[in-house]
């Protein structure tokens, strides 16, 4: 199942729960790739929120693995104020909550505080960098993306750099090219990156994201999902089997579009 068809299962705007099928070609170890799981939750929520009020931030807790088969999405409006909406989505399977997404939507308001994010250089048409090897230790879902790693090293290469990242894009069928990237696709592009702590390891070991927070600086994305997107993460701290990582995401024009922060559990 491709990304678009997977998300189309949860495009309905009626009701507060829906059954959907977890695809079997987006694996990340024994679980569904977290980026598409979060995108499914956001997709289900997006059709329920009034147009004109845009997503400002979201927090995702990955509680348990989602495996191929039936699952249930449940959404709930927590509060609707004059300018801000808070809402929640849960994805569950076999009676177990697997993912919880909390989202904050807000309308634009006049403010004397106006500070644009610094612009960086546009991404070259063909950026250079390392690519992920085609091996059994590379998760299945990564075959849906192209990577160019220009900061840090490959996962499990023993490169101990606090910086990690480079460029990523969707591998999409030609008929989907040149369409503006959706917020759901952006979630997948960002979460497609391995944790910045994995290059420190010298042999394969499991790692999983416990909590992921994403701040969206715009809802008007000016690049396609199969354009190159810049991702640069920095390890703030790592100890006791946990890592704390922040990252910035820019589009092909050099515009900062998102800020990411994740807490990662390490088993190596």
> Bridge-partner residues for 166, per DSSP?
149, 231
| Domain annotation covers residue 195 | yes
Among 267, 264, 268, 266, residue whose Cα is nearest residue 62:
264
Q: Does the pLDDT at position 156 exceed 80?
A: yes
Given the structure tokens 């391995």, which residue do they identify?
194
Q: What percent of the chain has pLDDT over 90?
A: 74
Looking at the fold, whether 43 and 98 belong to one and the same domain comes out as yes
Domain count, the chain: 2
Mean pLDDT of the chain: 92
Looking at the fold, whether 147 and 260 belong to one and the same domain comes out as yes
**What sign results for the dihedral spanned by CA atoms 143, 224, 32, 206?**
positive
Is residue 74 within 8 A of residue 68, CB to CB? The reply is no
Domain that holds residue 190: 121-268
Sheet holding 256-266, edge to edge: 17-22, 69-80, 84-93, 96-106, 54-62, 207-216, 256-266, 242-250, 229-239, 163-170, 145-151
Output the domain CATH number for residue 40.
3.10.129.10
Confidence of residue 182 (pLDDT cuts 50, 70, 90): very high
Per residue in 163-179, pLDDT (tens digit) is 999 999 998 754 455 68
Q: Rounded distance, CA 208 to CA 203, Å?
A: 16
Mean pLDDT of 59-84: 94
- Which of 110-114, 149-153, 263-267 has the weakest average pLDDT? 110-114
Looking at the fold, whether 31 and 160 belong to one and the same domain comes out as no
Q: Rounded distance, CA 165 to CA 154, Å?
A: 10
What's residue 115's pLDDT?
A: 85
What's residue 135's pLDDT?
A: 79
| Domain annotation covers residue 129 | yes
Mean pLDDT of 86-109: 95
Looking at the fold, whether 93 and 142 belong to one and the same domain comes out as no
- Domain boundary at 75, 108, 141, which? 108
Looking at the fold, whether 91 and 12 belong to one and the same domain comes out as yes
Among 63, 60, 165, 158, residue whose Cα is nearest residue 120:
165
Mean pLDDT of 121-131: 94
Residue 32: which H helix or E strand, with range?
strand 31-32
Per residue in 42-57, pLDDT (tens digit) is 999 987 887 778 999 9
- Domain boundary at 108, 133, 165, which? 108
Looking at the fold, whether 61 and 151 belong to one and the same domain comes out as no
Q: Rounded distance, CA 87 to CA 76, Å?
A: 6
Looking at the fold, whether 83 and 179 belong to one and the same domain comes out as no
Per residue in 205-231, pLDDT (tens digit) is 888 999 999 999 988 899 999 999 999
> Which position has the higher pLDDT, 39 or 175?
39
Looking at the fold, whether 16 and 65 belong to one and the same domain comes out as yes
> Which position has the higher pLDDT, 63 or 268?
63
- Domain boundary at 59, 83, 108, which? 108
Among 146, 147, 155, residue whose Cα is nearest residue 130:
147
Looking at the fold, whether 39 and 96 belong to one and the same domain comes out as yes
Q: Tell me how long the chain is.
A: 268
What's residue 116's pLDDT?
A: 84
């Amino acid at each position: 199942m491709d990304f678009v068809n997977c998300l189309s299962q949860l495009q309905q705007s009626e009701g507060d729960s829906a059954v959907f099928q977890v695809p079997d070609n987006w694996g990340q170890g024994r679980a569904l790739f977290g980026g598409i799981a979060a995108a499914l939750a956001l997709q289900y929520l997006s059709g329920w929120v009034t147009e004109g009020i845009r997503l400002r931030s979201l927090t995702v807790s990955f509680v348990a693995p989602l495996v191929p088969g039936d699952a249930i999405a449940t959404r709930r409006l927590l509060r609707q104020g004059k300018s801000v909406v808070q809402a929640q989505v849960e994805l569950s399977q076999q009676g177990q909550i697997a993912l919880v997404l909390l989202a904050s939507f807000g309308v634009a308001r006049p403010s004397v505080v106006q500070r644009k994010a610094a612009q960086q250089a546009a991404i070259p048409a063909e950026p250079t960098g390392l690519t992920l090897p085609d091996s059994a230790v590379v998760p299945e879902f990564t075959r849906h993306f192209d990577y160019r790693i220009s900061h840090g090293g490959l996962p499990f290469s023993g490169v101990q750099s606090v910086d990690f990242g480079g460029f990523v894009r969707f591998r999409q069928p030609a008929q989907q090219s040149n369409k503006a990237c959706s917020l759901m696709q952006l979630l997948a592009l960002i979460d497609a990156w391995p944790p910045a702590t994995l290059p420190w390891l010298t042999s394969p070991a499991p790692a999983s994201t416990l909590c992921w927070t994403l701040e969206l600086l715009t809802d008007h994305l000016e690049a396609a999902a199969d354009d190159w997107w810049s991702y640069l993460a920095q390890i703030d701290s790592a100890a006791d089997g946990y890592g704390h990582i922040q990252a910035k995401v820019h589009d092909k024009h050099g515009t900062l579009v998102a800020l990411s922060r994740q807490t990662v559990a390490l088993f190596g």
